Amino acid sequence: MTPQIEIQIIAVIVAAACALPGTFLVLRRMSMMSDSITHTILLGIVLAFFVTHDLSSPLLIAGAALMGVVTVWLTEMLSRTRLLAEDAAIGVVFPLLFSIAIILITRYAGSVHLDTDSVLLGELAFAPFDRMILWGRDVGAKAIYTTGILLVINLAAVVLLFKELKIAAFDPMLAAVLGFSPALVHYGLMTLVSLTAVGAFQAVGSVLVVAFMIGPPVTAYLLTDDLKHMLILSGVTGAVNGILGYQAAAFFDVSIAGSMAVVTGIVFLGVFIFAPRRGLIRSLLKRRNQKIEFSKAVMFLHLLNHENSPEEPSEAGVDTVHTHLHWTCKFTGRIIKSLARDGYVEILGGLVKLTSLGRTDGIDHYNELFSK
């Protein structure tokens, strides 16, 4: 297997592993917590290293995961005081813990291979050089297996606890009524996020972990309302972003992790603009149509209110009605033409008059519209 293929496999696995807990972070409106955790776990790694003096010790993973939970706890503790909003609490805790880790590394571990640049940006190009040797045989890049185990853990957790995660994400009160602790589910999810971050950042860096953990889920969120479909679509989108990002990096000769993050952003932007149900274009068209429909209703009720009244020649005149509605002549003409196409109005003797269809179907239509 070539290094190029191994790099893309690692990217696909990491993207899928990050998308699973990331989906629930997006649904719980805790996206920025992933950024906080992926940085503050560095302090857990540093403290665990000071205890073990071994960069390959599994205690480093345990320390990082524990620090991720501590980050969440400190953030929520500050937020519960109601003196700080959650985003402000993250803005306090995240830089504090991360800066402590940087100071400890530069002061006490300068000669140790704890490179803050590689922690942040990662370097997928080096991943194939760290080989997995079993019984004297090279079986591939070690990162394939470590991230593969991470994916299996996340997948098993989501499958086994799908109901609990779903209910806790959408209705914590119902979760408590059904007999399981929303807080336990919450901290379990945060532990999963921490494990994912520490298991993936060595290969891809914390920036790409955040990109994979949030980018694909928010992309899928714009495309579907079904949680199962959202989880699947998040994983597939992340995998595609990883492959396209690698191809772009190879073509332009740039950072692999950076290219994947950029592709993730570009794909999200494309979906954000063109999504059939929640895209920007669809939203603008929907707002435009709502404005037209509301204006048609206002015009219809205005004509109905002044029909056969002494003020009708002025209030319903083709050349004067716009002054009473405070609209432009051009916009008023568009509304009249639209109502005429519906068969609700007609122009007789310079007046905009309701048709017989307008007095029957039109009244029912707009009554139903305003009752919604």
User: Which DSSP string do the residues of 136-171 spell out, in sequence order?
Assistant: TEEEEEHHHHHHHHHHHHHHHHHHHTHHHHHHHHH-
Q: Is 201 exposed, middle or buried (0-12, 13-18, 19+ CB in 10 A)?
A: buried
Distance CA 115, CA 208 (A): 16
In the 8-state DSSP scheme, what is residue 360?
Answer: I
Structure confidence at residue 365 (pLDDT)? 83
SS3 of residue 32 by DSSP? helix
Q: What is the pLDDT at residue 109?
A: 62
| pLDDT recorded at residue 5 | 94
The pair of structure tokens assigned to 227 is 């949680």
Q: What is the pLDDT of residue 26?
A: 94
pTM of the model: 0.85
pLDDT at 144: 92
Per-residue DSSP letter, 354: E
Residue type, 89: A
CATH number attached to the domain at 3-278: 1.10.3470.10
Domain ranges across the chain = 3-278, 285-371
- Is there a contact between 73 and 15 (Cβ–Cβ < 8 Å)? no
**Is residue 299 within 8 Å of 284, Cβ to Cβ?**
no
Q: Return the structure tokens found at 25.
A: 């972070």
User: For each of the chain's 372 residues, which pLDDT tens digit applies?
Assistant: 799 999 999 999 999 999 999 999 999 988 888 888 888 888 888 888 888 877 667 788 788 888 988 998 999 899 889 888 888 898 899 899 988 988 887 777 655 555 554 455 556 877 888 888 888 888 888 889 989 999 999 999 999 999 999 998 888 888 878 877 888 888 899 889 988 888 887 777 777 888 999 999 999 999 999 999 999 999 999 999 999 999 999 999 988 888 999 999 999 999 999 999 899 999 999 999 999 999 999 999 999 999 989 999 999 999 999 999 999 999 999 999 999 999 999 999 899 999 999 988 888 888 777 666
* SS3 assignment, position 133: strand
Mark out the alpha helices in the chain (DSSP H runs).
3-27, 31-52, 59-80, 86-108, 116-121, 142-160, 162-170, 172-177, 182-204, 206-221, 227-252, 256-274, 280-306, 312-315, 321-325, 329-342, 356-357, 363-371
Question: What tokens does 71 get?
Answer: 């980050």
Query: 42 and 230 in contact (C-beta within 8 Å)?
Result: no
Domain 285-371, what fold? Arc Repressor Mutant, subunit A (1.10.10)
pLDDT, residue 55, reads 67
